[in-house]
């Protein structure tokens, strides 16, 4: 698991879920669109959710 997956915000998770749905449906173009949207979000609008302290 990568750092971005462990600190993913709700938007990150939603975009990743949509990407997986598109891949399962065989819609690789749509899946690529969601990958681009997630990367843009991570670069420009991502706000990681606070992680609980151990």
Question: How many Å apart are CA 54 and CA 51, to the nearest integer?
Answer: 9
pTM for this model (two decimals):
0.70
Q: What is the pLDDT of residue 43?
A: 86
CA angle at 45 for the pair 41 and 50, rounded to the nearest 5°: 105
Could you list the mean pLDDT of each consecutive 10-residue stretch along the chain, which spans 54 residues? 59 94 98 94 76 66
Which tokens sit at 12? 């990150």
Instruction: Check if the beta carbon of residue 29 is closer than 8 Å to that of residue 17.
Output: no
């Amino acid at each position: 698991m990568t750092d971005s997956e462990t600190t993913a915000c709700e938007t990150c998770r939603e975009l990743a879920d949509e990407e997986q749905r598109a891949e399962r449906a065989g819609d690789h173009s749509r899946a690529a669109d969601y990958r681009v949207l997630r990367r843009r979000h991570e670069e420009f609008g991502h706000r990681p959710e606070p992680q609980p302290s151990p």
